[in-house]
Amino acid sequence: MRVYLEIAILASRQQIAYRAAMLAGLFTNSVFGVILGSVMLGFYGSIDNGSVNGWSADDAITLIWINQSLLMVVYLWGWWDVSNTIQSGSIANDFLRPISWYGMWLSRDFGRALATVFLRMIPTLAIGWLLFDITLPASLARVGWFLVAVALAVWVSFSIRLLTNLAAFWLIDHRGIAAISIVFTTFLSGMIMPIDFFPEPLRTIAQFLPFQAITMAPNNAYLGKGDPLLIVATQLFWIVVLALLCAQVLKRGERRLVVQGG
Amino acid sequence: MREWREELGLAWRIARMRVSAQMQFQGSFLLQLIGNCILTIMEVVAIVIFFQRFPSLGGWTLNEILLLYAMSAITFEIADTIQNGLDLVPGRVRSGDFDTLMTRPVSIYLQAMVLDVSIRHVGKTLLAIGLFAWAWTRTDPSLTIATLLLLLSALLCGIALFVAIFTLGAIVSFWTVGSIEIVNAVSYGGSDLAQYPIHIYRQWFRTVFIWLIPVGFVIYYPMLIILDKPDPLGFAPAAPFLGPLLTFAFVIVIGWLWRRGVNHYHSTGS
């Protein structure tokens, strides 16, 4: 267990090393928070700040800023570390290590995520609160559930990224997969708008896909929409399903792996 | 004048070379093209869904917003295609490879622009043009000489501004090896905010994107006048002249900064 902890600490130190990039990223998140928040408020202005499918203007604005704060924590785009090890062949070394391959990558990702919680999530939420007066969590219990949901969201996001990375066993170029996965992970996860805004049957479909477990789950936990136990249980369900799927894909992929050179 | 024509001719030849190099990898090119289009379609679908839940945005209807969105997307994509090479400048500056650009008898800026020519934006540009045509027939503004001039002004000012903002990203790299992500926030953020009527933004935010970086101004006002929408900010009478003027000023400043940046550049490495 200790070795995984060490890996996580190392990964989070790596993140903290890039402080200038973190500040720049914070600026980006804030700019988009202001733009998307203004658009959301503009829309709500057309219905005199009424409620839409259970979402008040305050809820929707809070979702916009929570999503901006989560973007780097769940790190949906541009993570091709595993894909790179398949292409370079160094994945063979990773298999030889005396620790779990899945556990190694997972602890790295948790370490990275933990650092971004402090460097990106909390500052972005603070800026959202200052500029847009977003809703603060109603109770300490909500904060607790939110943090649990965020941690599990990282795990779900990691599982999906791992799966798309494993496509490198079969594909040389990951850009096509990247483009398609962005559509699912942003749109169907509720990054742009709460999935409750979707028309049927898209709404039901999105609810039964794992992508909502990345974005909607932490939002619902924060805003107190739905039973927090059910939210977390659904996330755990997807983590198990995706892990089993990864194991299957990995087994098939390993057989295809050819490493050259000496 | 002859010199300019020659330089443009050379840049054009380099650009054609880069394009034909890319076409050697047709599968990869196709995937990028599809990916680029999927993202645009997703954005448009999101706007349509919003309008299923809400009647209007800042007093603008779905078709009017789509027209504004399409105009902004067209200018941004064309600018992004033109500037693609500038993205590579920070890397060249860091490695010292920027030297090669200085030894050739062609304008450094032109060479920087064609360091990389990406045609993957073609898909999105065509999509945006299609969307523009569709939204145009739905909103049906009257087509006069004034309308055409306004459209032309939005197009040219938009392209000039976005290219200038991207140039800023390259300029920053002459002084600092740090991240240029801040400039990306302004370029991509600028394109996003110009897709919606700027009067929905707060005063301080608007001020920045009207007076300092006028991307909020040069596309919104021509479309507002063409669509004959109410003008909550009250710049409409002056906007057709003010927009190009602000753009010109911005481009001049960026041009001056670019020259200073190039002069400041010291080669690195061996």
| Residue bearing tokens 């896909």 | A209
- The number of beta carbons lying within 10 Å of the beta carbon of residue A97 is 10
- Residue B66 confidence (pLDDT) above 90: yes
CA distance B36 to chain A (A): 7
Within-domain flag for A86: yes
Interface of B with A in 20-49 (CB under 8 A): 27-28, 31-32, 34-36, 38-39, 42, 45-46, 49
> What would the pLDDT profile of A180-226 be if each residue is shown by its tens digit?
788 778 888 999 999 999 999 999 999 999 999 999 999 999 999 98
- For B223-233, what is each residue's pLDDT tens digit? 999 998 888 88
**Could you give phi then psi for residue B168, rounded to 5 degrees?**
-55, -40
Concatenating the DSSP letter of every residue in A57-91 gives HHHHHHHHHHHHHHIIIII-SS--HHHHHHHHSTH
For range B51-67, the mean pLDDT: 94
pLDDT given for residue B2 in this prediction: 64
Residue B245 in domain: yes
Lowest mean pLDDT among B118-122, B232-236, B255-259: B118-122
Rounded Cα gap, residues B105 and B100, in angstroms: 11
* CB atoms B189 and A35 under 8 Å: yes
Q: Do A28 and B205 touch (CB under 8 A)?
A: no
Pairwise CA distance, residues A29 & A34, whole Å? 9
Interatomic CA distance for residues B55 and B181, integer angstroms: 36
Which pLDDT tens digit goes with each residue over A122-170?
Answer: 999 999 999 998 999 889 999 999 999 999 999 999 999 999 888 888 8
Amino acid (one-letter) located at B81 = T
CB within 8 Å: B202 and A186: no
Say yes or no: B189 contacts chain A, CB-CB below 8 A: yes
Distance CA(A154)–CA(A112), nearest Å, equals 10
**Does some domain include residue A78?**
yes
pLDDT at B177: 67
Does residue B68 form part of some domain? yes
Number of domains in chain A: 1
Say if CB A108 and CB A256 are below 8 A apart. no
Residue among B57, B204, B212 with most chain A CBs within 10 A, to mutate: B57
> Is B148 within the bounds of a domain?
yes
Residue B269 is assigned to a structural domain of this protein = no
Closest partner residue to B54 (CB to CB) among A47, A176, A198 is A47
A123 part of a folded domain: yes
Q: Is residue A262 a part of any domain in this protein? A: no
Question: Is residue A261 in some structural domain?
Answer: no
Q: Which domain holds residue B89?
A: 2-264
Averaged pLDDT for residues A72-91: 84
What pLDDT does residue B136 have?
93
Of the candidates B31, B46, B54, the beta carbon closest to that of A187 is on B46
C-beta neighbour count of B204 within 10 angstroms:
9
Q: Containing domain of residue A19, as a range? A: 2-256
Closest CA of chain A from B93, distance in Å? 19
**Torsions phi, psi for A21 (to 5 deg):** -65, -35
Contacts of A195 in chain B (CB under 8 A): none
Report if residue A165 sits inside a domain. yes
Q: Closest approach of chain B CAs to the CA of A70, in angstroms?
A: 17
**Is B230 among the domain residues?**
yes
The number of folded domains in chain B is 1
B178 to chain A, any CB pair closer than 8 A? The answer is yes
Asked if the structure places residue B52 within a domain, the reply is yes
**Chain B environment of A47 (Cβ under 8 Å):** 54-55
Contacts of A170 (CB under 8 A, 6+ apart): A253, A256
Does B210 touch chain A if contact means CB atoms closer than 8 Å?
no
